[in-house]
Amino acid sequence: MRKLLRNARYLAPDLSIAEGDLLLDGDLIAQILTRGESPARPPDVDLNLEGYLIFPGLINAHDHLIEAFPGPAPTRPFAAWHEWEAHCKTSPAFRHLQRLSAADLYTLGLYRNALSGVTLVVDHFPREVRATFQGNPLVALLEHFFLAHSVSAHRLEWGQGIQEEFAQARGILPFILHVGEGTTQDLQEECESLNRLGALAENTVLVNPIGLQQAQLEVVAARRASLVWCPCSCQNVFGAHPPLQAAHQAGIRIALGTDRALSHPGLLFDDLRLARRLNQELLGGVFSDADLIRMVTSGAAEILGVGKGFGSIAPGQTANLLVFPAGEGSPFEAFFALTPGRVSMVIQRGGMVFGDEALRTASALDVGQYSECLVEDQPKILLGRPFHLLERIENKLEETVRFPFLPLFPGK
């Protein structure tokens, strides 16, 4: 199906705001036309989006979809990820999580991402589990990467071992793991251990490395490895963040993620806003707004090795788009103010998966496959049956559970 999105302004690959009409053909951006230019043949759908902005669909560079359940409130800042894990396992929330199926939890996690404009997510979990949920129409999962959980003796035994997984990545595909996720001595030594194992390279992606020291940062920079920062999770669990200012000054690439809902039951929009605030309050404004946006679009795509298909708006790119009202202020201010109620459309592979009911002609499938809902009192449609899911979860748990990342009410 060919769709013409007319009269909107869009985020160009250089992160400037450009004018043009986007022609979508199936799951790709086929062409960007000048204003008023007609496509070679009439589109099947013609949408006038004057007054709207179009950004690339966002990329969540780190999540654990199977832990899409609100966790216990931290009682204090934790010094290590495994201390937080032990705290979680004693909570009612964790026991509830264990009673739910992987399918329900993954679906919750996918909805959490879709409502935040995410069209590609890294599910950092063993492939034998995550592969079952590839191809879901709500949100694409990054398919080709290798992983370990972490490096220290506390690590979970994911994959085939650090060296084997790194070798299979062949220096091309991402190799993703937690490194230095805490301030204890053994976690602070993880980066050096990873380097000794020969698994620190340009395709290595280090998640939430709050324990990195300056000497280790220099090694990471020399190896051209990348970082993923999950602002809300780091703040909630550790009350601390990676050395971002030094990392940026060393030329280390950085992407943003949400981490699991167990440690932060919010949306990527919340992480973006917190990152922006911390940048001003703690980091001396080292990042521009464009830098932060790049961390969830083209920069994240580059780190994950998918820049040829994701993360920017250009002919030949996958038609993953986030559409929202331009508002009265600057385009970037409108973007950082986004909440699910302000999202006009999330387009995944050419079809709307979430957005305003008034724009439902952009849907990819039979409209009967969508649910009508209210989000912040705004009438929306959402692909799938989220209310059936919530009802099923309540029946299993025999109590009502509030999911902050699903602010949905049945439509009128």
User: Domain holding 226: CATH number?
Assistant: 3.20.20.140
CA–CA gap between residue 286 and residue 280 (Å, rounded): 8
Q: Exposed, middle or buried: residue 328 (CB in 10 Å: 0-12, 13-18, 19+)?
A: exposed
Query: What phi and psi values does residue 118 have, to the nearest 5 degrees?
Result: -85, 130
Q: Exposed, middle or buried: residue 377 (CB in 10 Å: 0-12, 13-18, 19+)?
A: exposed
Q: Which domain holds residue 298?
A: 58-303
> What does each C-alpha distance from 5 to 38, 50, 52, 60 come to in angstroms?
12, 9, 10, 25
Does any domain span residue 395? Answer: no
Beta pairing partners, 304: none
Q: What is the pLDDT of residue 412?
A: 66
Q: What is the pLDDT of residue 358?
A: 86
Q: Exposed, middle or buried: residue 40 (CB in 10 Å: 0-12, 13-18, 19+)?
A: exposed
Q: What is the pLDDT of residue 327?
A: 87
> pTM, whole model, 2 decimals?
0.97
Amino acid type, 222: A
Does any domain span residue 4? Answer: no
A 10 A CB-CB count for 324 gives 24
CA–CA gap between residue 189 and residue 360 (Å, rounded): 52
Q: Is 171 left (phi over 0), alpha (psi -120 to 50) or beta?
A: left
Does any domain span residue 108? Answer: yes
pLDDT tens track for 3-18? 999 999 999 999 999 9
Does any domain span residue 118? Answer: yes
A 10 A CB-CB count for 339 gives 17
Q: What is the pLDDT of residue 151?
A: 97
Amino acid type, 143: E
CA–CA gap between residue 128 and residue 147 (Å, rounded): 12
Domain count, the chain: 1
Query: What phi and psi values does residue 274 have, to the nearest 5 degrees?
Result: -65, -40
CA–CA gap between residue 5 and residue 197 (Å, rounded): 50
CA–CA gap between residue 223 and residue 53 (Å, rounded): 38
Pairing relationship of beta strands 204-207 and 175-178 according to DSSP bridges: parallel
Contact 143, 123 (CB under 8 A): no
Amino acid type, 329: G
Does any domain span residue 354? Answer: no
CA–CA gap between residue 381 and residue 115 (Å, rounded): 11
CA–CA gap between residue 255 and residue 299 (Å, rounded): 7
Residues 6+ apart with CB under 8 A from 100: 69, 393, 396, 397
Q: What is the pLDDT of residue 220?
A: 97
Q: What is the pLDDT of residue 365?
A: 62
Q: What is the pLDDT of residue 364?
A: 57
Handedness of CA 330, 289, 144, 386 (dihedral sign): negative
CA–CA gap between residue 298 and residue 56 (Å, rounded): 9
Q: Going residue by residue through the chain (412 aa), what tens digit of pLDDT does each one get?
A: 899 999 999 999 999 999 999 999 999 999 999 988 889 899 999 999 999 999 999 999 999 999 999 998 888 899 999 999 999 999 998 999 999 999 999 999 999 999 999 999 999 999 999 999 999 999 999 999 999 999 999 999 999 999 999 999 999 999 999 999 999 999 999 999 999 999 999 999 999 999 999 999 999 999 999 999 999 999 999 999 999 999 999 999 999 999 999 999 999 999 999 999 999 999 999 999 999 999 999 999 999 999 999 999 999 999 999 999 998 889 999 999 999 999 999 999 999 999 998 898 776 566 789 999 999 999 999 999 999 999 999 999 999 888 999 999 997 6
Q: What is the pLDDT of residue 179?
A: 97
Q: What is the pLDDT of residue 368?
A: 80
Does any domain span residue 5? Answer: no
Contact 247, 279 (CB under 8 A): no
